[in-house]
């Protein structure tokens, strides 16, 4: 750090300010009672504008790109400096917490703001990216923004519709985006030295170990599937039990088979049925004839996940045959597990230790934009402790201002000390 510079804002001040900003963004919701902010909604636009304003105040040049990602640029010490990309997502799940994704954006903005306030230019240029779609709640697949920045956006996704039948293509146009500009968003040849994401852990590990921060070793891969069970609707009072082709009872048995298969994996797998709907909503006196549900399977190792998905499909087809119902099996998307670059892990561990926190490494069961960015640069992730038992994807999600500040100071340390030459890009995945 250049001599004579003030040490910057106190950690607690940084952290408290970030939590206030999380509250401000948490108030921008499609639902007045809970936090839900889906991709390309009016609330996305309002949140994007607010984030861009905070980026400008931190000394960055900003833009909202063709897919609704917000990008802030902070030049490095040299015009041709390589770039560090850092950031996370600002879309949410339904009835979400206020820190998932958002914290990583605001932490990065606060870190750049601290460098700017001290007149510090890092060796690398810094690009803070607020991704508009990581959760994939609206269109059923996730990471539209980071896929585009990784140069991996599949144009066929533009025809995917949301629950109201609005296609992604139409939603981008209504938002003021530009589908023709999507290929230009790729950072594949943009002199990117690393992508680093700060994110709440969304689990209890750091809380149980009494650690404010942790360094992520790898991000679990996931497969999302949308089965549909087609039986025969009928009168709840007159159809004998042995003659029924009950789609909901079949889906329920399939749901339990997902749970029992993954629960028997001694921790290498997790499986979740997060959505289930009876076509038309169902009725108390009608045997359900048409049921759609979703399956999310994850594992740290891709071969284990692929084997699990195949086994779960076989079991569901066995259940369908026995119950004489039809089964349509649609894979919505899958994400490969993403290892974090060992050199970035070491640099992040140094920055954690510089905050007086014992460096601790742990895997991520949650997916992150870093998985896509791993296709254009080595990735690193810094986890921050969650309170309330580590609960997340839930309004009780919580963190402390002290931990928010420690995480920001660790990111500042990382950005100031990062030397692209010493962290030569790992082989691309």
Q: Which residues contact ligand HGY by CB under 6 A?
A: 134-135, 142, 366-367
Nearer to ligand HGY (CB atom), residue 97 or residue 378: 97
| Closest by Cα among 331, 347, 414, 340 to 371 | 340
Question: Nearest approach, Cβ of 309 to ligand HGY (angstroms)?
Answer: 16
Question: Which of ligand HGY, Mn ion, none has residue 253 at its interface (CB below 5 to 8 Å by kind)?
Answer: none
Question: Nearest approach, Cβ of 265 to ligand HGY (angstroms)?
Answer: 18
Question: Which of ligand HGY, Mn ion, none has residue 214 at its interface (CB below 5 to 8 Å by kind)?
Answer: none
Nearer to ligand HGY (CB atom), residue 131 or residue 414: 131
Question: Nearest approach, Cβ of 224 to Mn ion (angstroms)?
Answer: 13
Question: Nearest approach, Cβ of 366 to Mn ion (angstroms)?
Answer: 6
Q: How far apart are CA 8 and CA 20, in angstroms?
A: 19
Question: Nearest approach, Cβ of 96 to Mn ion (angstroms)?
Answer: 8
Backbone conformation region of residue 313, classed left if phi is above 0, alpha if psi is from -120 to 50, else beta:
alpha
Nearer to Mn ion (CB atom), residue 296 or residue 350: 296
Question: Nearest approach, Cβ of 128 to Mn ion (angstroms)?
Answer: 16
Question: Which of ligand HGY, Mn ion, none has residue 367 at its interface (CB below 5 to 8 Å by kind)?
Answer: ligand HGY
Question: Nearest approach, Cβ of 374 to ligand HGY (angstroms)?
Answer: 15
The three-state secondary structure class of 138 is coil
Residues 6+ apart with CB under 8 A from 256: none
Whether 251 contacts 291, CB under 8 Å: yes
Q: Which two tokens stand for residue 63?
A: 């833009």
Residues making contact with Mn ion (CB under 5 A): 100-101
Question: Which of ligand HGY, Mn ion, none has residue 218 at its interface (CB below 5 to 8 Å by kind)?
Answer: none
Whether 425 contacts 377, CB under 8 Å: yes
Question: Nearest approach, Cβ of 147 to ligand HGY (angstroms)?
Answer: 13
Question: Which of Mn ion, ligand HGY, none has residue 142 at its interface (CB below 5 to 8 Å by kind)?
Answer: ligand HGY
Per-residue burial over 287-311, b = 16 or more CB atoms within 10 Å of its CB, e = otherwise: bbbbbbbbbbbbbbeeebbeebbee
Beta partners for residue 296, in sequence order: 224, 272
| Closest by Cα among 335, 337, 237, 334 to 287 | 237
Nearer to ligand HGY (CB atom), residue 142 or residue 423: 142
Residues 6+ apart with CB under 8 A from 164: none
Nearer to ligand HGY (CB atom), residue 138 or residue 244: 138
Nearer to ligand HGY (CB atom), residue 19 or residue 219: 219
The three-state secondary structure class of 315 is helix
Question: Which of Mn ion, ligand HGY, none has residue 133 at its interface (CB below 5 to 8 Å by kind)?
Answer: none
Q: How far apart are CA 20 and CA 33, in angstroms?
A: 19
Q: How far apart are CA 97 and CA 397, in angstroms?
A: 5
Question: Which of Mn ion, ligand HGY, none has residue 369 at its interface (CB below 5 to 8 Å by kind)?
Answer: none
Q: Write out the H or E segment, with its range, that includes residue 252.
A: helix 247-263
Q: How far apart are CA 88 and CA 128, in angstroms?
A: 9
Question: Which of Mn ion, ligand HGY, none has residue 372 at its interface (CB below 5 to 8 Å by kind)?
Answer: none
Nearer to Mn ion (CB atom), residue 100 or residue 114: 100
Nearer to Mn ion (CB atom), residue 289 or residue 367: 367
Taken in order 141, 142, 145, 149, is the CA torsion positive or negative?
negative
Q: How far apart are CA 18 and CA 23, in angstroms?
A: 9
Question: Nearest approach, Cβ of 227 to ligand HGY (angstroms)?
Answer: 18
Nearer to ligand HGY (CB atom), residue 39 or residue 153: 39
């Amino acid at each position: 750090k250049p001599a004579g510079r003030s040490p910057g804002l106190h950690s607690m001040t940084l952290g408290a300010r970030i939590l206030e900003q999380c509250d401000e963004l948490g108030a921008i919701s499609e639902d007045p009672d809970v936090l839900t902010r889906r991709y390309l909604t009016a609330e996305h636009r309002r949140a994007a504008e607010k984030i861009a304003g905070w980026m400008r105040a931190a000394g960055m040049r900003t833009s909202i790109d063709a897919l609704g990602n917000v990008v802030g640029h902070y030049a490095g010490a040299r015009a041709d400096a390589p770039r560090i990309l850092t950031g996370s997502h600002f879309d949410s799940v339904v009835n979400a917490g206020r820190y998932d994704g958002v914290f990583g954006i605001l932490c990065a903005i606060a870190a750049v703001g601290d460098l700017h306030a001290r007149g510090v230019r890092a060796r690398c240029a810094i690009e803070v990216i607020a991704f508009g779609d990581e959760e994939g709640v609206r269109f059923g697949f996730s990471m539209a923004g980071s896929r585009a920045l990784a140069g991996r956006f599949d144009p066929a996704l533009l025809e995917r519709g949301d629950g109201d039948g609005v296609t992604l293509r139409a939603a981008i146009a209504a938002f003021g985006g530009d589908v023709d500009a999507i290929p230009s968003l790729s950072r594949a040849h943009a002199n990117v030295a690393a992508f680093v994401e700060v994110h709440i852990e969304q689990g209890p590990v750091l809380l149980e170990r009494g650690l404010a921060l942790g360094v992520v070793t790898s991000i679990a891969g996931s497969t999302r599937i949308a089965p549909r069970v087609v039986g025969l609707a009928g009168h709840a009072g007159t159809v004998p039990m042995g003659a029924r082709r009950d789609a909901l009872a079949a889906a329920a048995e399939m749901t339990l088979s997902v749970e029992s298969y993954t629960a028997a994996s001694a921790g290498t797998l997790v499986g979740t049925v997060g959505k289930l709907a009876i076509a038309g909503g169902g009725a108390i006196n009608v045997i359900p004839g048409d049921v759609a549900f979703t399956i999310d399977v994850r594992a740290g190792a891709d071969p284990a996940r692929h084997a699990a998905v195949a086994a779960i499909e076989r079991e569901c087809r066995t259940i369908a045959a026995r119950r004489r119902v039809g089964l349509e099996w649609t894979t919505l998307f899958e994400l490969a597990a993403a290892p974090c670059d060992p050199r970035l892990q070491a640099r992040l561990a140094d920055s954690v230790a510089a905050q007086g926190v014992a460096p601790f490494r742990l895997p991520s069961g949650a997916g992150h934009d870093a998985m896509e960015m791993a296709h254009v640069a080595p990735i690193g992730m810094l986890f921050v402790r969650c309170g309330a038992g580590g609960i997340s994807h839930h309004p009780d999600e919580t963190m402390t201002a002290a931990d928010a500040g420690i995480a920001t100071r660790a990111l500042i340390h990382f950005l100031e000390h990062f030397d692209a030459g010493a962290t030569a890009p790992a082989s691309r995945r």
